[in-house]
């Protein structure tokens, strides 16, 4: 057998394998459907995560209550801080898959509920803890002199936050936040645990039909890679623009 | 105008202010000198409650600011503060640095606030920098902008916390000149400084602080010529 013959054989084998895994019975639709769910869960979980993150951040920095005249409000501030702290602490110290399983099989055990909805909730809840840390780090990176300067002019703490601290912190927050989104998208690959058909599960379904793991799983990896690569490039371009505005 | 009554401040175990009782009258130019760690910056920062005293009262224009019911934001509007590190807002242009507080707090219309800012920038000699961002300014320029920013709220009292200590030597003069003009205009000023010549020329009264108290005070020239307290003598000998 010469080289061209063996090459021809390989091409033939590959195209047969490709047909078997993707074309036959429209099997590629397993992955398309899965990709749709991956994107749906990611986007909604990102929005929910930012919301939870902002709430947790506000809880952990209940500064508007710190100097309250009323003892009960100062006490409430402490309780809210405690809740925010426990949330971030517990979420960050337990695995995502475990949280997903607990939310699906324990918390929503007795209710008949859409698994995709549960996934969005679980990933959003998880991401929120990290987002609140990103917010905290971003705000803390602003020199305390900025707060003092704002307050010394007579601005309230909230005004100083809104006009001086947050606009500066956003520049530090956005790139890190974008990276959190990337992590989140990849993390959604575990939703198969609660029988949601995402991109990974879609590829795995094909594998279980054809008993050929290579093509479907590598194809799934390639799709993830393309999505993440696209996002990474977009973030890099965005960061360059932010830095350009620093030089003015 | 400013009365402090047995002012104490501790940071944890560290007892920084150990009882400062003073009257500062309208139009006085108080210069505060003393070794580092003597409590002079803490004293100044207590006056607009950037540090909350652990004990004692502060009364500004007849109003107790240490009273928990006091509206501290309102009181701070009457007291400008200039920091060692300038603390300009780097994301805002020079103009926006100056007009932010008047517009957000006093609800002054933009064109009016801009007119005030332009006037102040001419006074500090930086009108041409109106559209610059702080990152493009020298230390001396930043500090003059910071002074203009405080003055835009038309305060009754100006507090200066070592305003020239972070500056290169050749820029100290331009900032001190602006402060001298301000002093000549009748502003009540409290200045923590290491500039002994400025203290002598501009100060109407000098506080020498050491170990959390005002160890000696008087007309600057007299204190410099003839210090009474041993610690004052020691300090002046070392800095001159």
Q: Which tens digit of pLDDT belongs to each residue from B215-226? A: 999 999 999 999
Burial of B60 by CB count in 10 Å (0-12 exposed, 13-18 middle, 19+ buried)?
buried
Q: Are B207 and B217 in contact (CB under 8 A)?
A: yes
In Å, the largest CA–CA distance within chain A is 91
Q: Which two tokens stand for residue A87?
A: 């949330």
Q: Which of B91, B120, B129 to mutate to test the interface with A (most CBs of A within 10 A)?
A: B91
- B208/chain A closest Cα distance in angstroms: 25
Q: Which two tokens stand for residue A182?
A: 């990337």
The band of A60, judged by pLDDT with boundaries at 50, 70 and 90, is confident
Q: Strand, coil or helix: what is B194? A: coil
pLDDT digit string, tens, across residues A198-222: 999 988 998 998 998 988 999 999 9
The band of A181, judged by pLDDT with boundaries at 50, 70 and 90, is very high
What pTM was estimated for this model as a whole? Answer: 0.84
How do strand B205-210 and strand B188-192 relate by DSSP bridges?
A: unpaired
Number of H helices, E strands in chain B: 9, 10
- Using CA atoms, how far apart are residues B202 and B24, in angstroms rounded to an integer? 16
- Using CA atoms, how far apart are residues A197 and A192, in angstroms rounded to an integer? 6
**Residue closest to A230 by CA, chosen among A184, A182, A190, A171:** A182
Is A248's CB within 8 Å of B91's CB?
Answer: no
Does A5 lie at the interface with B, CB-CB under 8 angstroms?
no
**Residue closest to A25 by CA, chosen among A219, A209, A208, A211:** A209
Mean pLDDT on A24-36: 86
Rounded to the nearest integer, the mean pLDDT of chain B is 94
Does B87 lie at the interface with A, CB-CB under 8 angstroms?
yes
Is A153's CB within 8 Å of B77's CB?
Answer: yes
pLDDT digit string, tens, across residues B37-81: 999 999 999 999 999 999 999 999 999 999 888 899 999 999 999
Q: Which residue has the tokens 């800095």?
A: B239
pLDDT digit string, tens, across residues B179-207: 999 999 999 999 999 999 999 999 999 99
Residue ranges per structural domain of chain A: 26-189+197-247
Sequence-separated (6 or more) residues with CB below 8 Å from residue A6: none
- Using CA atoms, how far apart are residues B120 and A71, in angstroms rounded to an integer? 43
- B150/chain A closest Cα distance in angstroms: 7
Does B130 lie at the interface with A, CB-CB under 8 angstroms?
no
Q: How many residues does this entry show for chain B? A: 240
Q: Answer whether residue B102 shows pLDDT above 90.
A: yes
DSSP 8-class letter at A112: -
Residues of A in contact with B90 (CB under 8 A): 168
Q: Answer whether residue A63 shows pLDDT above 70.
A: no
- B230/chain A closest Cα distance in angstroms: 36
**Element holding B16 (H helix, E strand):** strand B14-24
| Segments of B142-202 assigned E as strands | 157-161, 188-192
Is B135's CB within 8 Å of A248's CB?
Answer: yes
Residues of A in contact with B146 (CB under 8 A): 149
Burial of A80 by CB count in 10 Å (0-12 exposed, 13-18 middle, 19+ buried)?
middle
CATH superfamily of A26-189+197-247: MetI-like (1.10.3720.10)
Instruction: Please list the alpha-helical segments (H only) found in A28-155.
Output: 28-60, 63-66, 71-92, 96-101, 115-140, 144-153
- B47/chain A closest Cα distance in angstroms: 11
- Using CA atoms, how far apart are residues B64 and B117, in angstroms rounded to an integer? 31
Q: Which of A71, A144, A149 to mutate to test the interface with B (most CBs of B within 10 A)?
A: A149
- Using CA atoms, how far apart are residues A242 and A98, in angstroms rounded to an integer? 37
* Range B3-20 burial, b when 16+ CB lie within 10 A, else e: bbbebbbeeeeeebbeeb
Sequence-separated (6 or more) residues with CB below 8 Å from residue B18: B8, B39, B211, B212, B213
């Amino acid at each position: 057998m010469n080289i061209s013959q063996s090459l021809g054989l390989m091409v033939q084998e590959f195209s047969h394998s490709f047909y078997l895994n993707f074309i036959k019975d429209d099997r590629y639709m397993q992955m398309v459907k899965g990709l749709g769910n991956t994107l749906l869960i990611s986007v909604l979980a990102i929005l929910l995560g930012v919301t939870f993150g902002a709430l947790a951040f506000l809880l952990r920095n209940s500064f508007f209550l710190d100097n309250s005249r009323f003892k009960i409000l100062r006490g409430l501030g402490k309780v809210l801080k405690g809740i925010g702290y426990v949330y971030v602490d517990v979420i960050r110290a337990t695995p995502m898959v475990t949280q997903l399983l607990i939310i699906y099989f324990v918390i929503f055990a007795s209710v008949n509920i859409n698994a995709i909805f549960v996934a969005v909730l679980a990933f959003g809840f998880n991401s929120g803890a990290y987002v609140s840390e990103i917010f905290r780090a971003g705000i803390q990176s602003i020199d305390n002199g900025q707060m003092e300067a704002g307050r010394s002019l007579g601005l309230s703490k909230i005004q100083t936050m809104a006009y001086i601290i947050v606009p500066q912190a956003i520049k530090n927050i956005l790139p890190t936040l974008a990276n959190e989104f990337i992590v989140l998208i990849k993390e959604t690959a575990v939703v198969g645990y609660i029988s949601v058909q995402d991109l990974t599960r879609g590829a795995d379904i094909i594998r279980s039909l054809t008993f050929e793991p290579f093509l479907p799983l590598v194809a799934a990896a390639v799709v993830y890679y393309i999505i993440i690569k696209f996002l990474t490039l977009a973030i890099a371009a965005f960061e360059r623009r932010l830095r350009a505005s620093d030089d003015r | 105008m400013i009365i402090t009554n047995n002012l104490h401040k501790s940071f944890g175990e560290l007892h920084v202010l150990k009882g400062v009782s003073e009257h500062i009258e309208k139009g006085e130019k108080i210069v505060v000198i003393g070794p580092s760690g003597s409590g002079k910056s803490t004293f100044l920062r207590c006056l607009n409650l950037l540090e909350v005293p652990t004990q004692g009262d502060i009364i500004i224009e007849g109003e107790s600011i240490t009273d928990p019911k006091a509206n501290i934001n309102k009181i701070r509007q009457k007291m400008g503060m200039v920091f060692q590190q300038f603390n300009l807002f780097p994301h805002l242009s020079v103009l926006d640095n100056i007009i932010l507080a008047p517009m957000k707090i006093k609800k002054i219309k933009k064109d009016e606030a801009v007119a005030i800012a332009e006037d102040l920038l001419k006074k500090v000699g930086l009108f041409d920098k109106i559209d610059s961002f702080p990152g493009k300014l020298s230390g001396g320029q930043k500090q003059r902008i910071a002074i203009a920013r405080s003055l835009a709220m038309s305060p009754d009292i100006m507090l200066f916390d070592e305003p020239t200590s972070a500056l290169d030597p050749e820029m100290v003069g331009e900032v001190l000149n602006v402060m001298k003009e301000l002093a000549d205009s009748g502003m009540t000023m409290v200045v923590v400084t290491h500039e002994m010549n400025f203290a002598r020329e501009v100060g109407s009264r000098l506080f020498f602080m050491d170990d959390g108290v005002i160890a000696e005070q008087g007309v600057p020239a007299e204190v410099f010529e003839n210090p009474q307290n041993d610690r004052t003598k020691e300090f002046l000998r070392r800095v001159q």
